[in-house]
Structure 1
Amino acid sequence: MSLTQLLECVDKVDKWKLMHREEMPSWVNNQSNLVLIGDACHPMLPYLAQGANSSIEDGAVLGLLLLPSNFTAKSQLPQILQLFQQLRKARGEAIARETFKQRKDFHMRDGQERDARDKIFEEWIGRSEELEISGKEFPSRWTCPVVQPWLYGYDAVKEVEGAVGQGR
């Protein structure tokens, strides 16, 4: 079937807007017995493909904090939820903010700013480690040697063990 034939079958097209909302002051309710995770508290634009991953990170951290070795009494719930927020809020919101940078760098109009971005891409081809040292910012966070380890190198177990070990 040709693409034209396929498109002739379409009766209606809806516009799907990419929406975002401001950061929340807290992910934990006032009674400290409910916490929001994932898209409920840090929705992100799809430019880094990290929405689901960030939600999994949230779930891993919360699950580890609620293990019997860390959570032994109902009275600890407020403290556990606050610790979860302390461990996850800044990172989740930082990733969401990073998606705006990726969107900007990937959707530039013709002009000087896009030409400058393209020059950076050309300079970085095959030389990323050398240019990282020079401090240049790379417009593709997926392959940026500064952003990539932070984005993809998160270790929920290490994060929780460090926090619990320090008695935060």
Structure 2
Amino acid sequence: MPRIVSGTAKGTTIKVPKSARPTPDMVREAIFSRLEHRGYLDNTDVLDVYAGSGAFGLEAASRGARTVTAVDANREAVSTIKANAKKTGLDVLVVNQKAEAFLGTIGRSYDLIFLDPPYDMAEEALANAIAKAAPLLVHDGLLLVERDKHSPEPTWPSSLVKDDEKTWGDTVIWSALGAEYARSLDS
């Protein structure tokens, strides 16, 4: 069973709905070590889209995120995320809505957005979700996309620039920054 790797809920095991494919603990640990090193966790607003078990968002909350919103359209996943949040004692806003609809209507910004869609999601649908998520990033925010390592790199809208790509086992994580912020780092 997956567990929260670090922070206030360290070691707490969490349930996974049948419909989900959770990010392995080892991969989450590597991602979060990098995020902490870059200052993307403490006192930040995090959006976990296609949340499944909520492991990513719960890990962020356990490690000091200010707010965490977990979005999933599957009712079993939503129930599981709520149960996992209760078990860990972490405050997570859980939204039962299709990701694309949520991303198209939300009126706030996030420091960190994690998109972990089903691996069989069409590339065009993923590009659409990324395009809808991009405007929700704060100026120096970071967007992460998890896919199967055999998947092609996502299509980034012009408002985002690929920042990094890391592969762990069968999982690849791409990160992107706002294009304007990325340009400011280069100068």
TM-score by length of 2: 0.26
Structure with the bigger RCO (C-alpha within 8 Å, sep 6+) is 1
More helix by share: 1
Rg larger in structure: 1
